[in-house]
Amino acid sequence: MRKITEDAAFREQTGKSELTVAVFKTTWCKDCHFIEPFMPDVEKKYEGRIAFIEVDRDDLADLCSELNILGIPSFIAFRDGKELVRFVNKLRKSREEIEQFLDRALEVSNALPSSAQ
């Protein structure tokens, strides 16, 4: 998962026409560490369909405030600079719940017209 540490890099990646899922975490979050063992397998499962980026909420506090990121870990799907769907709550997230969210993000993205401009 590509770690994003600058606002400009975040906006560049989420502005692309490919589906990008941003995972918002922190180093001190126990629930964020809970998902670490299985996220590489999840990324492989969606390889070629979803680009994953990681954002440390403490590194980009202004961006996270702008996006209203309160609970972590949080997952937000973007395409063409627009938020499509989010999975944000204060509860621990299971692999099954994350994959359900990713499937939903793909459904939403696939239902939109492609940005051939």
Q: Give CA–CA dist 90/116, Å, rounded.
A: 37
Report which of 33, 45, 10 is spatially closest to residue 92, judged by C-alpha positions.
33
Options 4, 19, 23, 32, the catalytic residue: 32
Dist CA 34 CA 56 (whole Å): 15
Local structure of residue 117 (DSSP, 8 states)? -
1, 9, 29, 108: which one is catalytic?
Answer: 29
Beta bridge mates, 85: 77
Nearest residue to 22 via CA among 30, 34, 12: 12
Record the tokens describing residue 73, joined without a space: 């870990």
* Residue 32 appears among annotated catalytic residues: yes
Q: Which residues are catalytic?
A: 29, 32
